[in-house]
A and B are shown apart, each in its own frame.
Chain A
């Protein structure tokens, strides 16, 4: 809808010209407002993080309220990888099952339950994750407890994006494969999943972008750690970037505050880049 054509307004009556003027003024006002808000957020992060713009920020771990962000960055990536491993099979399987095997009612019900899950506040996942995984199942503050909690939280996004990708595969191709004597398993593997690959990968990236920006489900499942995450899945707490933003910003030490800004900046860029990437792959 490119509307850059020149609009002549001189023939309009005063009332209509006034209305048009107001409409345009208000629209450009909204444009200015959102650009101001966005740049204010970004500028706050950039300016505040300037003292932490140093290589050591990336390569040293945090010590108390100082040091670097290496443990938080690696921790966020580590938790994201684990979450990905858990959520991708569940998401793809759910979407495939409802599309290939489930009855129409079952399909509707499953998608409804999945969408409803997307409306559950993240702190509820954090609370139940803490009580059930950390305490009752005895995982302790750990990467596994955090990843399971995050996976449960982003599951609906994975299900929905996989489903949308699988639906896009033309049903004619599926029917032709059936006519050639393909079994259902073969159709799923070489027609459905192969055809929906881009959409599914894009959806996985978007789901992980959502998981990376979360704090509430992690506070009581991953806790916080000053050292780099080990490969141990249980009983070893993990540091992550959102925790740094939340706690370090409220400290009176300039070094801690700079790290909090830096962590926020990295998060915004990381999540933004992944959202753009995920959307580009899906499109």
Chain B
């Protein structure tokens, strides 16, 4: 795939949603990890996924990566089945899972994004290098290309892995708690990268823990606890009542949610006699 083709695809805003999840149920036993989750994310959105521990956030990410077999329902990425569209999503690892002492430079990490495109006996092509370089440019890390990855600030480190994901040619980036354990300045810098990446037309799904910042960081939020409690703008989702229900299990109010995307509940399908 050439660069120009890629920009074309990203540039031409299609009506197909980047992510379409329909009635997804995933379980590892009597208690479902995800129950009847339906949501749709338009291309070019920066989406936060929030919810308490064990609420199915990582199961949702795995489903988007095509790693889990759902009990029911389907996941589509740009209209393609998730397990057939594996190249279209890139996973950006948690900072803690990276060995920052590893002898590898910024440029090499970005190039790793292209490793899947060449068989092992063939060299990386000039085009691959060009794409990796372009990805670094996009996250404004070109000048650091010969730096070892440990010698970067937290925000810069995040950018390198974003560049790798971009080099993979993925339009959808999944990030697992990129803000975990970083200081305020770094958090700002990482957010800056996320926003730049979104402006380049990519869709970002970010697992997030901090409710106080969820409001300003994301275009929309997904509030999850086994089932989808809300999906909409931060104002719609961050309702104190809704949050206390999800996080503290205070109320047992059913499905009448203030948020959008719940029209199906209103339809009340007619179970047969």
Whether chain B is bound by chain A comes out as no
